[in-house]
Chains A and B, each alone.
Chain A
Amino acid sequence: MIQLLAFYLFATIVCVSGAATILSRNPVHSVLWLILAFFNAAGLMVLVGAEFIAMLLVIVYVGAVAVLFLFVVMMLDIDFTELRAGVMKYAAVGLLLALALVAEIIVAVGAWSAGTLALGRRVAPVADGVPNIEAIGALLYTRYLFVFEGAGLVLLVAMIGAIVLTYRKRSDVRPQNIARQNARRAKDATRNMNPAVGQGMEL
């Protein structure tokens, strides 16, 4: 009963906020609706029993990716008239995509009532009572070890690539030497000359 109520709550909010993401005029509002959608999708995953994926969704997408989106969108110089002018230009492509999506949804709903798929065999059935972090970990580090490490390498290459592409050596700034700054003491910077009365100071 509670699960059912929670499911309908989360599912409704996901749908509504998904629609609001593309319908809202202000891009910042769009990103915020998207975040709400992520959040409720995480709620749905908790209901399915995939609490690890749910937490990852919140940490990675809500905590990191959406913050970047928000930053970028906030920095944008938004011209609303220009935004609206683009609508007609992309209307044809958008309509096509929407049609394809509608067709897919219809097919999916049809397939759902057609019964289960014999191919949907689980490669690695999980024993009852195993937390899904442990189940995922055991699979990732045994069966899918090379794929997993490969994915890690791809990410590493992407990271290095991003640094290489954006790094530029600037010659017009003076770099700070933090160790020298920390090592500097008051006696290196000041001198007490103790001049006599009436005498000036020569440096």
Chain B
Amino acid sequence: MPAMTSWFTYLGFPFELAWTVATVIDILVIALPVMLAVAMIIYADRKIWAAMALRRGPNVVGPLGLLQSFADGLKVFLQETIVPSGANKGLFLLAPIITFTVALIVWAVVPFQAGVALSNINVGLLYVLAASSLGVYGIILAGWSSNSKYPFYSAIRAAAQMVSYEVSIGFVLISVVLWAGTFNLGTIVEAQKGYYGFVNGNFVNPLLFPMAIVFFISSLAETQRAPFDLTEAESELVAGYQTEYSSMAFALYWLGEYANVILMCALNATLFWGGYLPPFDWAPLYAVPGILWLFAKMLFFFFCFSWVKATVPRYRYDQLMRLGWKIFLPLSLLFVFLVSGYLMLTRVGVPA
């Protein structure tokens, strides 16, 4: 990022213009592949479910059905956007835009390689928390502005669910931050180097491994994936908060949801599984570019997301809330306590 800015200034641009152009290009370099990845990941999702249900999945459009998502996108694009007459028009159209934007802005701080992130800020993880707490609005507004009962129920459910699981996610993140001693995502990744001399990743740390599991399950709940997809429980709520949506507005929800899923995979990989570091601290492995390791880990987590969706039945809503508040919250609080206690003993020392 600074390299591109200095290249543009070298071309004779004034600094401000160079910075602006470089930033816009960087944003596009991240956002466009994310959207492409969303299309391909939807295809992968359907293929994985199909394989687990002994079906063939999408196989008609393009070779092996690879172009299925693009065909769906084109279909959605050509449809008419219907706004219900009783809906609050402005908010109804704003809601999907919020969801989609929030799904994209978090990518600004994800480190793709050593020192490569759009914005390497030292409150990176807080930024992630802040942005993910904004995600609720896209859903509440959709439910409320639709002026329809089922979407509203669904929006209330979704908001309660996301707020509840954000609490435990917050504590999980705090234990990682305590261990790494920083909020900067790049430094958090670097701090995972060389456990026991050869493993890269917080997951081998017995104090952080349970947190990795809690974070994975919470990220399923946070993105409203199965088994926590009560907001879209079609047997109870039609299609959830997006019932009244059609055409591009619907597509934005679709893209936003999957962009969030990919983002959660990236966060799982970055916080607990070594991010862009190779799995083992062995010199030849560093010859492979870090971004490929990150992608491999993200794909692995995405496979786990699909796997869960294909195999685990849906939770009951009271069980969902019980899991969040009565199990994850005390558990993550306990581990914040344990991690900070261990660090007091080993790194800081106990003054008399």
List A residues at the B interface (Cβ < 8 Å).
1-2, 26, 28-29, 32, 35, 51-52, 55-56, 58-59, 62-64, 67, 70-71, 74, 131, 133, 176, 178
Contact = CB atoms under 8 A, between A and B. Distances in A.
Given A2-B20, A133-B123, A59 B140 contact: no
Nearest to A74: B144
Contacts of B30: none
Contacts of B156: 71
Contacts of A59: 126, 129-130, 133
Interface string B254-273: 00000000000000000000
A176 B123 contact: no
Nearest to A178: B322
B91 interface: yes
Contacts of B318: 176
B130 A62 contact: yes
Nearest to B143: A74
B209 interface: no
B121 A51 contact: yes
28 contacts: A1-B16, A2-B16, A2-B19, A2-B20, A28-B88, A29-B91, A32-B91, A51-B121, A51-B123, A55-B123, A55-B126, A55-B127, A56-B126, A58-B130, A58-B133, A58-B134, A59-B129, A59-B130, A59-B133, A62-B130, A63-B130, A63-B134, A64-B133, A71-B156, A133-B122, A133-B123, A133-B183, A178-B319
B contact face: mostly helix, strand, loop, or mixed: helix
B207 interface: no
Contact of A62 (B16, B134, B183): B134
Nearest to A28: B144
Contact of A71 (B141, B159, B183, B319): B159
B315 to A, nearest CB: 12
Interface string B131-142: 001101100110
Given A2-B20, A26-B88, A56-B126, 15 more contacts: A1-B16, A28-B144, A35-B137, A51-B122, A55-B127, A58-B134, A59-B133, A63-B133, A63-B134, A64-B163, A71-B159, A131-B123, A133-B122, A133-B123, A178-B319
Given A1-B16, A2-B19, A59-B129, A52 B140 contact: no
B244 interface: no
A52 B137 CA distance: 22
Contacts of A131: 122-123
Interface of A: prevailing SS? helix
Contacts of B222: none
Nearest to B145: A28
A67 B163 contact: yes
B172 to A, nearest CB: 15
Interface of B: 16, 19-20, 88, 91, 121-123, 126-127, 129-130, 133-134, 136-137, 140-141, 144, 156, 159, 163, 166, 183, 318-319, 322
A3 B322 CA distance: 46
Contacts of A28: 88, 91, 144
A51 B125 CA distance: 12
Contacts of B122: 51, 131, 133
A50 to B, nearest CB: 10
Given A32-B91, A67-B136, A52 B123 contact: yes
A71 B163 CA distance: 12
A173 to B, nearest CB: 12
| Residue of A35, A64, A74, A176 with most partner-chain B CB within 10 A | A74
A131 B137 CA distance: 30
A195 B140 CA distance: 55
Contacts of A176: 318
A169 B27 CA distance: 54
Contacts of A51: 121-123
Contacts of B126: 52, 55-56, 59
A70 B129 CA distance: 20
A31 to B, nearest CB: 10
A152 to B, nearest CB: 14
Contacts of A70: 137, 140
Contacts of A35: 137
A67 B121 contact: no
Contact of A55 (B91, B130, B322): B130
A188 to B, nearest CB: 19
B166 A63 contact: yes
The 5 closest A-B pairs by CB, nearest first: A63-B133, A55-B126, A58-B130, A131-B122, A1-B16
A56 B183 CA distance: 13
Nearest to A52: B123
Nearest to A58: B130
A1 B126 CA distance: 27
A74 B145 CA distance: 10
A185 B122 CA distance: 51
A71 to B, nearest CB: 7
Contacts of A55: 123, 126-127, 129-130
Nearest to A66: B137
